[in-house]
Structure 1
Amino acid sequence: MSENTSILVLGVGNILYTDEGIGVRAVERLSAGYTFTPNVRLMDGGTLGMRLMDAIMDCDRLIVVDAVLGGDEPGAVYRLTGEDLRKSLGFNDSMHQTDLVDTLIFCELAGHRPDAVVIGMEPQDYQTLCPEVSARSAERMPLLCDAVLKEIRDAGGDWTTVPSD
């Protein structure tokens, strides 16, 4: 891919339920810590599901950041593509999960489904009502963000680190 590739980094999840909000929290961290090339856009997709269709259809490469139930220990980082994207559907009681795959299908039917990858983390707790991620997820968040940065670079984007005060 090249620097002409339009890249959307989409953090999804419900930030009110501990680690279910991992994707959104990762995008917030990336937005605060980095400045990206013009072809990279970061977006808090929350639990918008089908309402994300326009944003998804407007990119060439979609990087979804989410909590993933992959069966590994909490804090494990996953990279899912193709049929493995369905593994991010582990939260049966979460609206954004089912809607995300359905949204990709509808984008394809409407004429443009971007290349997609899910960068996810195994949650420790996704049922407790708490706006903070678990201690284990907070500890592993830099690894999740590094995996997203690698995907951005591989897709033709780049960044600079925002100087800390």
Structure 2
Amino acid sequence: MSDIGHEFETGTRSAEETFPAKASALRKGGYLVIEDSPCEITDISTADGGGTLTVTGRDLFTGTTRTGTHGPGDDVRVPVVGRSDCEVLGIDDGYLNLAHASTGSPEDDVALPDGQLGDNLRKDFETSGDLVVTVLHAMGKSAVASYRPK
């Protein structure tokens, strides 16, 4: 069985958005759906002698901290997280015009990130024009996780 914390697909989105797992198989750094949002697990603690797991995670798309509690034998949903590298072709009305690095196929529904990541990406693109972004896809959503020079 593969490590639940590192289920990745490369390329485009998956038809399956989540898969079932036992709460006892969760690990820090892995993924879990908490409050209907895909999250990276940042902490797992046990209470009352190991009967309840408290799982804290960071929402992959908003950065919000979310917490859920589960029994070790509970079935939980783990998001399928896809990752793709795309060349930035342009920035238009707050969205990135992208071409997948492996296939060249276009993608134009990924928003320019908010905050420092988005500000730096825009500035570096205007300066050099040759950037590659890493886009995370999970549960029907996409967001830029990082970028680098081409």
- Structure number with the higher strand fraction is 2
User: TM-score category by the smaller chain?
Assistant: under 0.3
- Normalised to the residue count of structure 2, the TM-score between the two structures is 0.23
Larger radius of gyration: 2
Structure showing greater relative contact order (alpha-carbon pairs closer than 8 Å, 6 or more residues apart): 1
